[in-house]
Amino acid sequence: MPANLTFDELKKAVKAGEIDTVLTTVVDMQGRLMGKRFHAQHFIDSGHEETHGCDYLLAVDMEMTPVQGYKSTNWATGYGDYVHKPDLSTLRRVPWLPGTAMVMCDFLDHHTHEPVPHAPRSVLKRQLARASALGFTPMMASELEFFLFEEAYNELFDDGYRGMTPLSRYNIDYSILGTSKEEGIMRDIRNGLFGAGIPIENSKGEAEAGQEEINVRYSDALDTCDMHSIVKNGVKEIAHQHGVAATFMAKWSHRHAGSSSHIHQSLWKDGRNAFHDPKGHHGMSALMRHYLAGQLMHARDLTLFLAPYVNSYKRFVVGMFAPTKAVWSTDNRTAGFRVCGADTKGVRVECRIGGADLNPYMACAALLAAGLDGIERKLELEPEASGDMYKARRVREIPKALREAAALTARSRMLRSAFGDDVVDHYVHAAEFEVSEMDRVVTDFEVRRGFERA
């Protein structure tokens, strides 16, 4: 689905005084929107062709610290520029920011104007081209969960993120009364994003105090990832405008459930779902079975892109609706992969492993790469699992820590073939730096546990 503003419409809106600012946004390794605010007239005059930004945007950690050890950019290379090339098909209004439009941009090499290989949008586009060569259009959707807190961002920062108060006091999963209490914020989120050309379907209370979920209509994979990034940014900005805070951390407290980002997937051909075969088991075509078989075979190797931080692995707890086993089942929320819409034209694969902290482009690219490998090799789908997967024994486990996941990704022949060695090494290095940072930090837990009693 296209965004809701053409370049000609932007020109008219600027001339009429409706829009005075254009955000040019790239996506960094963490999946965040970075970029510049253009005066709208300058964007129309020349900025729509390209702008530039420091190449360190694809070589920093969450704190924007330039991490050393990357092959692509470092102090020795001088931290030069990448081109930010606006994709004008993504132009949209930003209703919650007065007089503002935005556009997604691609990272290009400053000298060759070729796509930067390890840029998240580039990685996904490479897998989309691979699917297209086989005659398929990947269609996807991501379900995003997040928490809302009574305190504002600055207040929480200054207090060291202690004493945070979830907006709701109890579990409001599906509760109309419970969600009515925060509807002033959630209504603005739904309407604001919808006004930005993002087809919001619904929001609901999730399975923990203060937790919400927002759902966006199924679309082609690139559009889905663009919308995912905009939704996260928009939720935070709109929450801030209401004086509250939102977090997409995978696990903000060990006492509470985590936040996921389930990813629904299917391949389409000639306008129809190629995963559907009314004669197949559960309505699954042979193509779908091969695709799912590929994801299961490589599930452990690609977990890094579904759970990219040390904190991500705190979410995989028994009984908290986050899976611990990378198996498949039909409509079973304890399995890592769930077949949804069984025996219907909407049959699809839902990967339930990913957390709300994932980079959607990297996650979707990794899942797609694994699925296409299954199709190309015509892998046979293993038997369906059933029952409580938390209690299952001798089945494929989801990696238990980032260190393990990064090592698996580093050794993955499939990912190295699909992404290229440099791309895999780039993201493994990011994970290894994340682990090293956490290894050296003394946590509150350690101090409380050992200060007096050690």
Q: What is the CATH number of the domain that holds 212?
A: 3.30.590.10
**Does residue 160 share a domain with residue 308?**
yes
| Domain count within the chain | 2
Shared-domain flag, residues 94 and 150: no
Domain end (from 59, 93, 116): 116
Residues 63 and 177 placed together within one structural domain of the fold:
no
Tell me, yes or no, whether 233 and 312 share the same domain: yes
Q: Are 74 and 65 in contact (CB under 8 A)?
A: no
Residue 57 resides in a domain: yes
Residue 196 burial (10 A CB sphere; 0-12, 13-18, 19+): buried
Tell me, what CATH number does 104's domain have? 3.10.20.70
CA atoms lying within 13 Å on the CB side of residue 24: 25
* Pair 39, 106 in one domain: yes
Is 452 part of a structural domain of the chain?
no
Are 44 and 100 within one domain? yes
Q: 122 lies in a domain?
A: no
Domain end residue (candidates: 59, 82, 116):
116
Both tokens of 170, joined, read 């109890």
71, part of any domain = yes
At residue 21, φ and ψ (nearest 5 deg) are -135, 135
Same domain, 76 and 141: no
Q: Are residues 112 and 214 in the same domain?
A: no
* Of the residues 92, 116, 140, the one at which a domain ends: 116
> 238 φ, ψ to 5°?
-70, -40
pLDDT 10s digit of each residue in the chain, 454 long?
Answer: 567 899 999 999 999 999 999 999 999 999 999 999 999 999 999 999 999 999 999 999 999 999 999 999 989 999 999 999 999 999 999 999 999 999 999 999 999 999 999 999 999 999 999 999 999 999 999 999 999 999 999 999 999 999 899 998 888 888 888 888 899 999 999 999 999 999 999 999 998 889 999 999 999 999 999 999 999 999 999 999 999 999 999 999 998 899 999 999 999 999 999 999 999 999 999 999 999 999 999 999 999 999 999 999 999 988 777 889 999 999 788 889 999 999 999 999 999 999 999 999 999 999 999 999 999 999 999 999 988 878 888 899 999 999 999 999 999 999 999 999 999 999 999 999 999 999 999 999 999 999 899 9
Give the pTM: 0.96
Q: Please indicate, yes or no, whether residues 157 and 212 belong to a single structural domain of this protein.
A: yes
Co-location of 34 and 134 in the same domain? no
- The verdict on 283 and 390 lying in the same domain is yes
> Do the beta carbons of residue 360 and residue 305 sit within 8 Å?
no
Q: Which domain holds residue 104?
A: 7-116
| Closest residue by Cα to residue 50 from 126, 122, 7, 110 | 110
